[in-house]
Chains A and B, each alone.
Chain A
Amino acid sequence: MSTAAEAAPKYTAPASIQVPAEQFPAPKVTRKNLIDVVSQEQVQRANVDGRMELFSRKNPNRIQPGSVLLVETLNSKAKESTSTFMGVVIAIRRKGLETTFTLRNLVMKVGVEQRFALYSPMLKSIKVLQQAGSKDIKFRRAKLFYLRDQPGKAFQSLQSLWKQEQAEKVAAKKN
């Protein structure tokens, strides 16, 4: 093997292998913490638009159960079309890269729940329409599964929020 650096072959990936555009230097690992460090690195990479901050435990402005979110997801990578779903956060499951949250809404009088993986590449954006945690909108549970049987007033504001959101969209398009 020649000592000259120019003789070293450059790696060209064939079509079936992709090389991620951003190559991060390898983190320091010991025998015991490898899986934690690697998982944390994966989360940092998947955290493209700061969505980790929305669900971190320490952030004072984090999304709490009972907030109303509007989530936009890509239908497929090939097409530009997206689906939106608005609902009340009834559960947040924090498992690092596999963190998921569940939204519930009443769609044509039928209760619909949808679970989203926070770091999925198909999840385009999360918009907070109503933040929970203030005096009047406060839920004293981490998981709001009781809303399935006793919705109370939790879903009443969703209609008006949706109309508000549509109006904002139209106004933004005009501008």
Chain B
Amino acid sequence: MVEVTCAIFFGKSPKFFTSPENSNIGPLIAMNSLTKLLPSITSAVATRSSRPIISACFHSSVTARQAASTADQQPAWTPQSQRVGVIARKKGMSTFWDEWGARMPTTILQLEDVQVLDVRTEEKHGYTALQVGCTNKKNVTKPVAIHYSKLNVEPKQSVAEFRVTDDALLPVGTILNAAHFVPGQYVDVTAPSIGKGFAGVMKRWNFAGLPASHGVSLAHRSAGSTGQRKWPSKVFKGKKMAGRMGGKSVTVQSLKVLKIDTELNLVYVKGCVPGFDDQFVKIKDAVKKHGAKRFPSDTLPPPFPTVKDADLQAMPRELIANSGEGKDPFTTKE
């Protein structure tokens, strides 16, 4: 019996997927639980069991396909490849003890209904990128609702683009999971920092201010002098002064992924992340760790372009990174 697998993607299809001969193909329904797709909007559901299979390959000639051969259709990861990032929500902070008992702070980031919304290609747009959306939203305006219904994706609250290489493109509607990240890899996290309002010069630029006593009148937290005298007879541009502080995009680089939760779609990252709780943050593979150094050497190649559904179903719920070189940090050399 010939089993047919198909991809269900609407809108623009990436370059490396072969387009079907007849364009009015309609979705071919596979044996397994794709009936759960009805109604036709593919919504990203939190639990794994009812997730529709999206990221399988489609080939124009209808042939029997086993799990092994889908790997041939997917392009292989190279150290020069750039994978897609995700948008997540900063949920809060906690503590984490590694296998040696060392304690470290951790930030919990949740991938909430993260899907690919658009594909940007070199020929059509001049650059290669994937547009990703996070968190479903109910009340949207009519133009926005129609735009999303054409993609067959629920409207998203936060949308951002991630530059990728040509081999890392994904079809529209692909759901991105926490398993996209490998425990032990390094990531960069970008988010707007908490706004501090109109901040004085001591808070904003760490100025020392003036003495608290000894005759100082009304100027304890001021900047003091702003320049010289007759020359240059001006205040230099960029002089550090009081003003609005915070609320700008900040990137924290090279944070280690300590743990992933594939069922709740959580990524536990070591250290702090800018912004307040429930903030939308962008996570990408670390830029300053090149190619293979981003990932632990025995986890190469990483899930590319993203984790396959078969691998995801086989994964246990929680995966924790082992720290470092395998040496106990609490033993001292004799």
Which A residues have a C-beta under 8 Å from some C-beta of B?
1-3, 7-11, 13-20, 23-26, 29, 31, 34-35, 38-39, 42, 74-79, 97-98, 117, 120-122
Residues of B within 8 Å of A97, CB to CB, are 94-95
Closest to A79 in B: B331
Interface residues on chain B, size class: 35 or more
Q: Assess A26 versus B317: contact at CB under 8 Å? Given A74-B101, A78-B328.
A: yes
B10 to chain A, nearest CB (A): 20
CB distance B184 to A16 under 8 Å? yes
For chain B, what secondary structure do more than half of its interface residues adopt (helix, strand, loop), or is it mixed? loop
A143 to chain B, nearest CB (A): 22
In Å, the complex CA distance between A17 and B262 comes to 14
CB distance A18 to B320 under 8 Å? yes
Chain B residues 310 to 334 lying within 8 A of chain A, measured CB to CB, are: 310-311, 313-322, 328, 330-331
Residues of A within 8 Å of B53, CB to CB, are 1
5 contacts between A and B (CB under 8 A): A24-B317, A25-B317, A34-B91, A38-B108, A117-B103
B27 to chain A, nearest CB (A): 15
Residues of B within 8 Å of A117, CB to CB, are 95, 103
A123 to chain B, nearest CB (A): 9
In Å, the complex CA distance between A35 and B263 comes to 15
Q: Which of A3, A74, A76 contacts B31 (CB 8 A)?
A: A3
In Å, the complex CA distance between A173 and B78 comes to 61
CB distance A77 to B100 under 8 Å? yes
Residues of A within 8 Å of B95, CB to CB, are 97-98, 117
CB distance B184 to A26 under 8 Å? no
Q: B92 contacts the other chain (Cβ, under 8 Å)?
A: yes
Q: Assess A75 versus B330: contact at CB under 8 Å? Given A17-B322, A19-B319, A24-B317.
A: yes
Residues of A within 8 Å of B297, CB to CB, are 16
Q: Assess A19 versus B320: contact at CB under 8 Å? Given A8-B313, A97-B94.
A: yes
CB distance A78 to B331 under 8 Å? yes
CB distance A7 to B261 under 8 Å? no
Task: Report B1-24 CB contacts with A as 1/0, cut-off 8 Å.
Answer: 001010000000000000000000
CB distance B91 to A77 under 8 Å? no
In Å, the complex CA distance between A142 and B319 comes to 39
Task: Report B177-218 CB contacts with A as 1/0, cut-off 8 Å.
Answer: 000001110000000000000000000000000000000000
Q: How many A-B residue pairs lie within 8 Å, measured between CB atoms? A: 122
In Å, the complex CA distance between A23 and B3 comes to 33
B139 to chain A, nearest CB (A): 16
In Å, the complex CA distance between A18 and B316 comes to 11
Which B residues have a C-beta under 8 Å from some C-beta of A?
3, 5, 30-32, 47, 53, 56, 65-67, 70, 91-92, 94-95, 97, 99-101, 103, 108, 110, 112, 182-184, 261, 263-264, 266, 277, 296-299, 309-311, 313-322, 328, 330-331
B40 to chain A, nearest CB (A): 21
CB distance B101 to A122 under 8 Å? yes
CB distance B101 to A19 under 8 Å? no
Q: Assess A38 versus B67: contact at CB under 8 Å? Given A2-B3, A77-B330.
A: no
Residues of A within 8 Å of B94, CB to CB, are 35, 38-39, 42, 97-98
CB distance B314 to A9 under 8 Å? yes
Q: Which of A16, A29, A79 contacts B321 (CB 8 A)?
A: A16
Residues of B within 8 Å of A19, CB to CB, are 316, 318-320
Q: Which of B70, B277, B321 contacts A1 (CB 8 A)?
A: B70
List 6 additional A-B contacts (Cβ < 8 Å) besides A1-B309, A2-B65, A16-B321: A8-B67, A11-B314, A24-B317, A34-B264, A77-B328, A121-B101
Residues of B within 8 Å of A24, CB to CB, are 317
In Å, the complex CA distance between A75 and B296 comes to 28
CB distance B315 to A16 under 8 Å? no
B204 to chain A, nearest CB (A): 31
In Å, the complex CA distance between A76 and B102 comes to 10
Question: Which residue, of A1, A20, A75, A117, has the highest number of chain B Cβ atoms within 10 A?
Answer: A1
CB distance A35 to B331 under 8 Å? no
Q: Which of B30, B97, B100, B298 contacts A76 (CB 8 A)?
A: B100
Q: Which of A7, A11, A77, A120 contacts B67 (CB 8 A)?
A: A7
In Å, the complex CA distance between A69 and B108 comes to 34
Residues of A within 8 Å of B5, CB to CB, are 1
Closest to B184 in A: A16
Residues of A within 8 Å of B92, CB to CB, are 35
Residues of A within 8 Å of B110, CB to CB, are 34
In Å, the complex CA distance between A19 and B314 comes to 13
Residues of B within 8 Å of A78, CB to CB, are 328, 330-331
